[in-house]
Each structure stands twice: as structure tokens, then as C-alpha cells.
Chain A
Amino acid sequence: SAVISQKPSRDICQRGTSLTIQCQVDSQVTMMFWYRQQPGQSLTLIATANQGSEATYESGFVIDKFPISRPNLTFSTLTVSNMSPEDSSIYLCSVESDPWTQYFGPGTRLLVL
């Protein structure tokens, strides 16, 4: 398994601004993932982040809106850019530390006014 922390745990932001979310894992992992979970909804994969390469984005998500960094094997950031109220969600990072198995962080709760 893996222990994952995220910062901030929650934030309230004004529209038009950007927020960078940090994800730290307690062991080196190859695969890191970013998900969005809208209130009361399921999880939707935003992108997959591998160290040393560009993130791979899912349909409906673009790099300009959700730039991702993956500087090393234990850390990643997701930026939500030019925010609107529709970006209000829980943002979750996950890692694959055992074959086929993803472990999730506690999430970042974002409210955009």
C-alpha cells in the first residue's frame, strides 16, 4: 500500500484565479493519477502522470486548464487554471504502488465562487 497526502485539504477561490494542488506519496511510484469527483458523483480520471514524461489527459480535459507536473517519483502537482464555479469539485490523486491497484489520497475540496 501507500500513504498519500494532499495539500491543501480544502480551499475557497475566486473565479478566474488558479489553484495548485500538491500530492505527496511515501514511496517511489511510477504511475500517479489525478481524478475529479463532483459532489455526490463518481470519480472521473483527469490525467495520468508519469515521472519524466508529459501527462496523458483524458477526453474532455486539456493541459491548458489542468497543467500537471511530476518532478520526481514521490510528488506531483495539479493546477486548476482560470477557475469557474463549474470547477468546484473534490480533486483526488492516486498512485499505483501494487500491481493493478490504485490507492487514493484524502482529496482536495475546492469551492469556486
Chain B
Amino acid sequence: QQQVKQSPQSLIVQKGGISIINCAYENTAFDYFPWYQQFPGKGPALLIAIRPDVSEKKEGRFTISFNKSAKQFSLHIMDSQPGDSATYFCAASLSGTYKYIFGTGTRLKVLA
């Protein structure tokens, strides 16, 4: 019940295309959902985050869509660029704690 399931494991997208990464959770106590981007040899960097009281949040080319009833959320990267090639992790935070439960990660490669 504490898991966050992330898919796909890897993704190849053409430059200019849309990259979509999905996450699902079971624990309804989760109430904060961040996405992190990690380049090789670097620590994860916060990309965008959402709370379950909104269904969508957009920051530049990055959008989180949130479906509370389905307990799913997804990251959309519009106009994907080769510089977006990285590993993306979704996470969920337990209400009342500071603990993050991370998904398994998605390796994105954007072809030039």
C-alpha cells in the first residue's frame, strides 16, 4: 500500500514530441506528489509538484495531470528536447510526515 508504481521503465521520443510518464498509488493518505529529474552523475532535481486538490498543474513545457479517483498522476513533457533526456522519478508524500515514497523511475531519451 506504500508503493508508487511508475511506468514505463524507459521511453524514447522524437524531438518535438510529447513524453508521458505515469504513476499510480494505493494509499489515499498521500497528499503531495512531486516529480524529480535526474541527470547521470547528479542528484535528483525538483521539476514540478501537485496537491490532490487540483487536477492539473503546468510549468512551462511540463504538466502534471492528477486523477484523484483513479489514484493516478502523470507527467507530460511537451515539445520534448534532447536536453530533457534524463531519468524521471515520481514520488508521493505521506500526510503528516515528511517521507517521500519514490517510484521506480523512467529513463527518457529524446532523439534529435
Contact = CB atoms under 8 A, between A and B. Distances in A.
A42 B105 contact: yes
B98 A33 contact: yes
Contacts of A67: none
Given A42-B102, A43-B89, A43-B102, A101 B34 contact: yes
Contacts of A107: 42-43
Interface string B73-98: 00000000000000001000100001
A25 to B, nearest CB: 13
Interface residues of B, number: 19
Nearest to A45: B99
A104 interface: yes
Interface string B42-76: 11111001000000000000000000000000000
A62 B91 CA distance: 24
Contacts of A41: 104-105
Given A42-B89, A42-B105, A43-B89, A102 B45 contact: no
Contacts of A106: 41-43
Interface size classification for chain A: 20 to 34
Nearest to B103: A42
Contacts of B100: 43, 45, 102
Interface in A19-54: 31, 33, 41-45, 48
A96 interface: yes
A45 B2 CA distance: 13
Contact of B98 (A4, A42, A44, A48): A48
Contact of B46 (A45, A101, A109): A101
Contacts of B44: 43, 92, 104
A57 interface: no
Contacts of A48: 98-99
Contacts of B103: 42
Interface of A: 4, 31, 33, 41-45, 48, 92, 94, 96, 100-107, 109
